[in-house]
């Protein structure tokens, strides 16, 4: 629909008409060398031309309203999980798909728009039932989010009702009906299955680690069930338990972590007569066995609340072994006080003025072991200045100042969360020595000092990296007040633990200075995903270089070797390998740098996800409840014709969308050409008859 809208009063249109007729009359009222008929024609042309020009000067606007009808949408949602293909043969599935296609064709005839998707939200034509997990609630929620604002007439869910990931779909609230088609076998069969395996992914060599196996038993008379734990075909442990009725059995194993690297452990549950699904009687776990935990040594001249605060942070990380040495109170063996056996040494107010830790501090100061120093009133500053530490006082101070921490936003070695920065701003003050401080250019402040409300550039907590050695210095004692204050305000110590946890992790980690690095981006991959390697090559200035050929060799558990090769380029330093089966793989990556061959070795694991095999009994009751909750209906796989009939009774009502546009009449090309035609026609006729 089009309509002309004027910016001024319609009276001016009438005035334009009168003015156009008047001007044309003045021109053509006198005698001319053409006939009266041509005089009237020329009079009309001139009057129309003048009117058009005057009318366009009024600025008329064309208002156009365009109506479009949006068809209502029906989504056919296929549960593409492998549990359906495990319980239904290809003929049954094909018959089901044919019936659903007939339903879709009927909906299209009723002017519905049809969209077919699987549980991941991908649009499909023909479903492939090979999914490794089922999250029905997430799939329906994705449909609701993707089509928010559209007329969603309904969803047809084709599923066996089994979900093993996410929340129950019955908890979702949807403003559209969900019609469900149940497929699969609802018969309760005899089954002894592994329900869950709980284990620690990291174990330390020489230690025992827990593996808990939960076994569920269905439709089996009371008898014993044996579970075996194996490694490379060798039985490590066996346990047998007797159950009564349908019961959950728990088996706790404690194998020994003997060899370093990724170790595969196989769990086998005894197969009972009458079991149809025996693949859920087996499972595997992958344990990474490392040499040992990092040793964090804390040396203090005397007991102090700060020691406990730092100890709490260290012991929260299972990768650390905390050692406390307080001469005369808690002492470590001499072998534990050797710098080469320690990953990070924390010295609290050491070297002390009494000299009880002076010799131990000097030994660590001369070594390559990373250090964290907490300076306090009992610290011997003269001894400290002789050991080439990151911070030193120009003159030995005699006064103290109370300061609060301010985070340095430019600190780049690691980042602190905004929450931690906000909480630290309200920490109580700590006591620091007052005096001029010398600091090397390599030292970077993590925390600055704030005196009262004035933030200064004086360091409070600094980090310095000297070759491969890292040293941190905290110029104030009383850290325990920070932790206690935070707990009093928030009932937790998240900020304190984050600051010092990340600091300890950074200081205790040795930088990798190799010029060639190649590694899988994670230690475990699923067998349905590609294994991704990342390779980095550096020159002598540790700048990244590209164009190197990376040769990669994988060896599986059977000793079979497979070779790959690729070339790095900017933005393309990763390589994907697909199709690997479950197991532990050793890799060897190599490249040539400055005519020398560089090699990297390591291990990774490929894990088979067997979630879909844990339960193959269809849950039609869940599908019925889902349909009832949303205003839909439940149908079995053989009732697709009934679904087609029921949906055919529902009239498709679309949504009308109106689009309103405004265009100036003078900007239209056809108006310009219309004016040209009238002006040219009059001019040509007057010339033809010999008048000007």
What is the CA 93 to chain-centroid distance, rounded? 35
Is the model's pLDDT at 180 over the cut of 90? yes
pLDDT at 613 over 90: no
DSSP secondary-structure letter at 30? S
**Residue 660: pLDDT band with limits 50, 70, 90:** confident
| Nearest one of 216, 366, 197, 202 to 291, comparing CA atoms | 202
What is the predicted pLDDT for the residue at 223? 86
Query: What pLDDT score does 692 carry?
Result: 59
What is the fold of 516-607? Immunoglobulin-like (2.60.40)
With a pLDDT cut of 90, the percent of the chain lying above it is 42
pLDDT of residue 373: 93
Q: Locate the domains of the chain by residue range.
A: 2-67+661-688, 72-187+617-648, 191-290, 294-508, 516-607
Q: b/e map of 650-677 (b: 16 or more CB within 10 Å)?
A: eebeeeeeeeeeeeebeeeeebeeeeee
Does 263 score more than 80 pLDDT?
Answer: yes
Average pLDDT over residues 598-604: 91
Cβ(151)–Cβ(176) under 8 Å? no
Residue 480: the pLDDT is 94
| SS3 state of residue 167 | coil
Contacts of 17 (CB under 8 A, 6+ apart): 51
Cβ-Cβ contacts under 8 Å for 599 (sequence gap 6 or more): 516, 588, 589, 590
Quote the pLDDT of residue 4. Answer: 79
Query: Is domain 294-508 annotated with CATH 2.30.40.10?
Result: no
Express each pLDDT in 116-160 by its tens digit.
999 988 989 888 888 878 899 999 999 999 888 888 889 999 999
Do the domains at 191-290 and 516-607 have one common CATH topology?
A: yes
Backbone angles phi, psi at 492, to 5 degrees: -155, 175
For the chain, how far is it from start to end, CA to CA, in angstroms?
43
Name the architecture of domain 72-187+617-648: 3-Layer(aba) Sandwich (3.40)
pTM of the model: 0.56
pLDDT band per the 50, 70, 90 thresholds, residue 1? low
Per-residue pLDDT, 515: 86
pLDDT for 657 beyond 70 = no
Residue 617 pLDDT exceeds 70: yes
Q: Give the DSSP letter of residue 379.
A: B
pLDDT at 302: 93
Q: How confident is the model at residue 396 (pLDDT cuts 50, 70, 90)?
A: confident
d(CA 583, CA 607): 7
**pLDDT tens-digit series, residues 351-377:** 998 999 999 999 999 999 999 999 988
Length of the chain: 692
Task: Using only the alpha carbons of the chain, give its radius of gyration.
Answer: 41
Among candidate residues 673, 679, 685, the one with its CA nearest the CA of residue 48:
679
What average pLDDT does the structure give for the chain?
88
Least-confidence region, from 152-161, 241-250, 483-492, 652-661: 652-661
Average pLDDT over residues 50-67: 82
Nearest Cα to Cα of residue 68 among 660, 584, 664, 666 = 660
Q: Is the domain defined by 191-290 classed in CATH 2.60.40.10?
A: yes
Of 139, 270, 258, 141, residue with least CA distance to 213: 270
Higher pLDDT, 396 or 167: 167
CA atoms lying within 13 Å on the CB side of residue 160? 25
Percent of the chain at pLDDT > 70 equals 98
pLDDT at residue 246, as a whole number = 64
Q: Where are the beta strands (DSSP E) in 119-159?
A: 152-159
Three-state SS at 36 = helix
pLDDT in tens, 327-350: 999 999 998 999 999 999 999 999
Place of tokens 């402040």: 445
Please tell me the distance from the alpha carbon of residue 128 to that of residue 119, in angstroms, as a whole number: 11
What would the mean pLDDT of 421-447 be, rounded to a whole number? 87
Average pLDDT over every residue of 530-556: 90
């Amino acid at each position: 629909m089009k309509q002309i809208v004027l910016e001024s009063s319609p009276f001016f249109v009438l005035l334009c008409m009168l003015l156009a007729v008047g001007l044309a009359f003045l021109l053509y009222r006198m005698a001319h060398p053409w006939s009266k008929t041509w005089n009237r024609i020329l009079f009309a042309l001139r009057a129309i031309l003048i009117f058009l020009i005057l009318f366009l000067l009024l600025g008329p606007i064309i208002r156009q309203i365009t109506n479009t009808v949006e068809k209502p949408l029906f989504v056919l949602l296929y549960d593409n999980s492998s549990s359906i293909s495990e319980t239904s043969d290809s003929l049954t599935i094909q018959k089901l798909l044919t019936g659903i296609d007939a339903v879709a064709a009927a909906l299209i005839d009723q002017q519905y728009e049809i969209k077919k998707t699987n549980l991941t939200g991908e649009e499909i034509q023909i479903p492939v039932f090979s999914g490794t997990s089922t999250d029905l609630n997430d799939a329906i929620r994705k449909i609701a989010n993707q089509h928010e604002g559209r007329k969603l007439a309904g969803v047809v869910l084709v599923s066996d009702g089994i979900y093993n990931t996410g929340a129950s779909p019955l908890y979702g609230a949807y403003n559209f009906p969900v019609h469900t088609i149940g497929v699969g076998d609802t018969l309760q069969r005899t089954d002894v299955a592994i329900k869950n395996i709980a284990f620690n992914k990291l174990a330390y060599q020489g230690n025992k680690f827990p593996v808990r196996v939960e076994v569920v038993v269905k439709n089996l008379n009371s008898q014993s069930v044996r579970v075996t734990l194996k490694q490379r075909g060798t039985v490590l442990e066996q346990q047998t338990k007797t159950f009564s009725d349908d019961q959950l059995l728990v088996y706790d194993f404690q194998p020994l972590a003997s060899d370093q690297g990724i170790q595969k452990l196989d769990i086998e549950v005894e197969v009972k007569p009458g079991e149809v699904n025996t693949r859920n009687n087996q499972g595997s776990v992958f344990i990474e066995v490392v040499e040992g935990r990092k040793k964090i040594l804390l040396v203090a001249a005397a007991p102090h609340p700060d020691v406990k605060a730092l100890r709490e942070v260290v012991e929260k990380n299972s990768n650390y072994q905390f050692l406390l040495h307080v001469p005369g109170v808690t002492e470590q063996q001499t072998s534990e006080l050797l710098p080469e056996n320690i990953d990070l040494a924390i010295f609290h107010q050491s070297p002390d003025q009494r000299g009880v830790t002076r010799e131990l501090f000097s030994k660590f100061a001369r070594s390559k072991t990373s250090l964290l120093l907490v300076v306090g009133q009992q610290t011997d500053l003269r001894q400290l200045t002789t050991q080439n530490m990151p911070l030193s006082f120009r003159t030995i101070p005699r006064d103290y100042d109370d300061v609060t921490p301010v985070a340095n936003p430019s600190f780049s070695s690691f980042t602190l969360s905004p929450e931690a920065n906000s909480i630290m701003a309200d920490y109580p003050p700590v006591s620091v020595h007052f005096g001029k401080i010398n600091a090397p250019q390599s030292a970077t402040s993590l925390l600055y000092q704030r005196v009262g409300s004035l933030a200064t550039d004086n360091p409070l907590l600094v980090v310095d990296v000297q070759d491969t050695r890292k040293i941190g210095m905290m110029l104030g004692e009383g850290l325990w007040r920070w932790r206690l204050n935070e707990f009093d305000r928030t009932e937790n110590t998240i900020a304190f633990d984050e600051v010092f946890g990340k600091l300890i992790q950074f200081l205790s980690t040795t930088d990798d200075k190799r010029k060639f690095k190649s590694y899988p981006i994670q230690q475990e991959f699923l067998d349905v995903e590609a294994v991704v390697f990342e390779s980095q090559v550096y020159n002598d200035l540790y700048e990244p270089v590209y164009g190197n050929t990376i040769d990669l060799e994988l060896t599986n558990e059977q000793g079979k070797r497979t070779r790959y090769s690729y070339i790095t380029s900017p933005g393309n330093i990763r390589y994907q390998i697909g199709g690997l089966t479950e197991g532990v793989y050793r890799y060897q990556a190599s490249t040539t740098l400055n005519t020398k061959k560089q090699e990297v070795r390591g291990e990774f694991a490929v894990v088979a996800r067997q979630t879909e095999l844990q339960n193959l009994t269809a849950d039609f009751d869940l599908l019925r409840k889902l349909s009832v909750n949303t205003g839909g209906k439940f149908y079995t796989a053989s009732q697709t014709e009934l679904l087609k009939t029921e949906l055919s009774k529902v009239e498709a009502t679309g949504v009308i969308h109106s689009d309103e546009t405004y265009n100036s009449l003078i900007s239209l090309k056809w108006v310009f050409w219309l004016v040209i035609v009238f002006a040219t026609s009059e001019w040509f006729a007057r010339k033809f008859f010999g008048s000007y």
